[in-house]
Amino acid sequence: MSRGITYTSSPLLASPTPVWRSKFIVATIALAFAGLIARAVYIQVIENAFFQKQGEVRFARTLALPANRGRILDRNGVVLASSIPVPSIWAIPEDVPRSPEALKKLARLLGMPLAALNKKLEDEDKTFVWLKRQVDASVGKEIAALGLKGIYQRKEYKRQYPEGEAAAHVVGFTNVEDQGQEGMELAFNKALSGRNGSRRVIKDRMGRVVEDVGEQIAPVDGRDLQLSIDSKVQFFAYQSLKQAVLLHKAKAGSVVVLDVQSGEVLALANYPSFVPDKRRNLSGAQLRNRALTDTFEPGSAMKPFVIAQALNMGMLTPETQIQTAPGRMTIGSATISDSHPQGLLSVTGVIQKSSNVGTVKIAMQMAPRKMWEMFSQVGFGQKPVLPFPGAVSGRLRPYKSWRPIEQATMSYGYGVSVSLLQLAHAYTIFGRDGDLVPVTMFKTTEPAMGVPVIEARHARAVRHMLHLVTLPGGTAQKAQAMGYSVGGKTGTARKVEGKGYASKKYRGIFAGLAPIDAPRIAVAVMIDEPNNDKYYGGDTAAPVFSQTVQQTLKVLGVAPDMSVVPQVITDAVEESF
């Protein structure tokens, strides 16, 4: 029946259509196309840069190409710090399956509680979260073998420190971002870090690189640092120090070894110490580089500088007699005394017996300015010229403000404070025949030029006195070293506590040179608060000096200058404070 219908005769189709309606429809379509064209022109021409940037923000990424951090080497090329590539684990939390069994395995490999892992996946950014930075390569392989969706790895560099706690305070350490935090790692962070490169890429929503765009900038690796430290000397010095601190139940200790000829620091060790790449639960006491950051009153170790200045001024000779009886003297309201009355002593005997009274009588014959000049010229009161964080200047007040009693006490090491590095550095003038060479932490091959402080003959005279200190009748017979002649000076100083001095807290100190006729090294040792019935420097610090000298000179290839092995001395003369 439908086949018989004639559509043209339909009343609906036969009704007349207004012309304006068709024109309106055509105009509407034309306007729509014009709008689309305008929008296309706006997006692709006028605001093209904006929309390109928005697209890049969503898909394009600049990947850092990390530079390999430079190594830190000892003077012989032994690695003290280096970087190795390791994986770091990250995740896209919304993609990670919440399978309890799978997450339990992942948490075990990451070394964290399951609850901590779940917290990271739930509370952090849903598109990126670090799970653990710098894991072992073997752990990275095991995690990859799990095949978990949403778990990814990124290559980073982890710092390794082969010498461990022995060189920790020298080398320092970096944080997880590979930025130096302590020691040479901090002091030379910029040089060691180098410059990172970059790579511009387009990633999909899964974080996978699908295309490289733009130019790739290659990284510039960091520069290697070669220190003056000898890793063998550093190890032996640290071990000797550690044993002494533990033996005497001391609070802490430090040792510094300098090359007298070049001013190079061969060893700088402290105890307690730490392992640089295992730093959980560290205390400030472990981190502190005491040899550079701590100052102390050096006690009798200051006496040789007073005697050297007196000789240099022509006030006396090594044979000049000084009356020290009855073993005490009064200045103002204060009484200065010796541990043991000595009577008439030569200037040499004043050093050998460590007489406070004898030293004060000599010091009070010179103007305060002269004594201050000696202390200042050897570096006391001045910050060491070392590119090392935390190095302190110590305390040396202007001579114009000195009262007589202050000049007297400073002559035997009270009222002036120094660091152990400063003390070791100052003693090099006796090993270099009177001149002071700059100290350095870097290996050098150039001859060191020193600044004259005292005449050579007077330096040699004091060096002879220092040698007698270690022989029978001296205060540091335990400083003797097998096969090598030595010289040095003990110091025992009460520690400041509150507004005065503690009655039972001391520092044992020893500073000296070896071999005595042609010194190659200067060594200074400080034992803080020995608490084993012995606190004198001759008992606590001198044995560390002895062991360090023996090992150091062997490592340096210095031939023994003594054919007779000295006897082990058990009862040394006690030095005065």
Answer whether 242's CB lies under 8 Å from 271's CB.
yes
Answer whether 490's CB lies under 8 Å from 496's CB.
no
Residue 19 has pLDDT above 70, yes or no: yes
- Mean pLDDT check: name the lowest of 6-10, 354-358, 431-435, 469-473: 6-10
Contacts of residue 224, defined as CB under 8 A and 6 or more positions apart, other chains included, come to 70, 71, 72, 73
Whether domain 63-225 has CATH 3.90.1310.10: the reply is yes
CA distances from 110 to 181, 517, 548 (A): 25, 60, 43
HSE (CB half, 13 Å, CA atoms) of 36? 6
Beta bridge partners of 129: 91
Whether domain 231-276+287-555 has CATH 3.40.50.300: the reply is no
**Domain boundaries defined on the chain:** 63-225, 231-276+287-555
Answer whether 417's CB lies under 8 Å from 297's CB.
yes
Segment of 32-46, 282-296, 462-476 carrying the highest mean pLDDT:
462-476
**Pairwise CA distance, residues 542 & 533, whole Å:** 16
Q: How many angstroms separate the first and last alpha carbons of the chain?
A: 134
Grade residue 309 by pLDDT with cuts at 50, 70 and 90. Answer: very high
Question: What pLDDT is stored for residue 8 in this prediction?
Answer: 56
Question: What pLDDT is stored for residue 500 in this prediction?
Answer: 85
Residue 11 has pLDDT above 50, yes or no: yes
**Pairwise CA distance, residues 114 & 97, whole Å:** 14
Burial 256-276 (b: 16+ CB within 10 A, else e): bbbbbbbbbbbbbbbbbbbeb
β-pairing, 173-174 vs 151-160, is: unpaired
Stretch (H or E) spanning 171:
helix 168-171
- Is residue 417 annotated as part of the catalytic site, yes or no? no
For the stretch 461-494, pLDDT in tens is 999 999 999 999 999 999 999 999 999 999 999 9
What average pLDDT does the segment 208-214 reach?
Answer: 60
**Pairwise CA distance, residues 322 & 560, whole Å:** 36
For the stretch 146-193, pLDDT in tens is 888 888 888 888 899 999 999 999 999 998 888 999 999 999 999 999
What average pLDDT does the segment 549-560 reach?
Answer: 96
Phi-psi region for residue 150, left (φ > 0), alpha (ψ -120 to 50) or beta? Answer: left
Going by C-alpha positions, the residue among 243, 247, 263 that lies closest to residue 255 is 243
Question: What pLDDT is stored for residue 1 in this prediction?
Answer: 46
**Pairwise CA distance, residues 129 & 233, whole Å:** 45
The DSSP code for 574 is: P
Rounded to 10 degrees, what is the CA torsion of 473, 479, 480, 484?
-130
Burial of residue 504 (CB within 10 Å: 0-12, 13-18, 19+) is exposed
**Pairwise CA distance, residues 321 & 548, whole Å:** 35
Going by C-alpha positions, the residue among 228, 226, 230, 198 that lies closest to residue 214 is 198
Q: How far is CA 382 from the centre of its chain?
A: 20
Dihedral sign for Cα atoms in the order 285, 288, 291, 292: negative
**Pairwise CA distance, residues 153 & 164, whole Å:** 28
φ, ψ (nearest 5 deg) of residue 258 = -115, 145
For the stretch 370-394, pLDDT in tens is 999 999 999 999 999 888 878 999 9
Average pLDDT value over all residues in the chain:
88
pTM, full prediction:
0.83
Contacts of residue 104, defined as CB under 8 A and 6 or more positions apart, other chains included, come to 114
Residue 47 has pLDDT above 50, yes or no: yes
- Mean pLDDT check: name the lowest of 128-137, 408-417, 451-460, 479-488: 128-137
Going by C-alpha positions, the residue among 204, 202, 201 that lies closest to residue 215 is 201
Angle at 475 between CA 473 and CA 481, to 5 degrees: 90
Catalytic pick among 254, 273, 300, 546: 300
Grade residue 24 by pLDDT with cuts at 50, 70 and 90. Answer: confident
What average pLDDT does the segment 301-310 reach?
Answer: 97
Question: What pLDDT is stored for residue 577 in this prediction?
Answer: 62
Asked whether this chain's domains 63-225 and 231-276+287-555 adopt the same fold, the reply is no
Place of tokens 């080398």: 171
Answer whether 324's CB lies under 8 Å from 362's CB.
no
Residue 145 has pLDDT above 70, yes or no: yes
Contacts of residue 369, defined as CB under 8 A and 6 or more positions apart, other chains included, come to 399
Question: What pLDDT is stored for residue 5 in this prediction?
Answer: 54
The DSSP code for 44 is: I
Residue 56 has pLDDT above 70, yes or no: no
Question: What pLDDT is stored for residue 214 in this prediction?
Answer: 65
| Helix, strand or coil, per DSSP, at residue 441 | coil
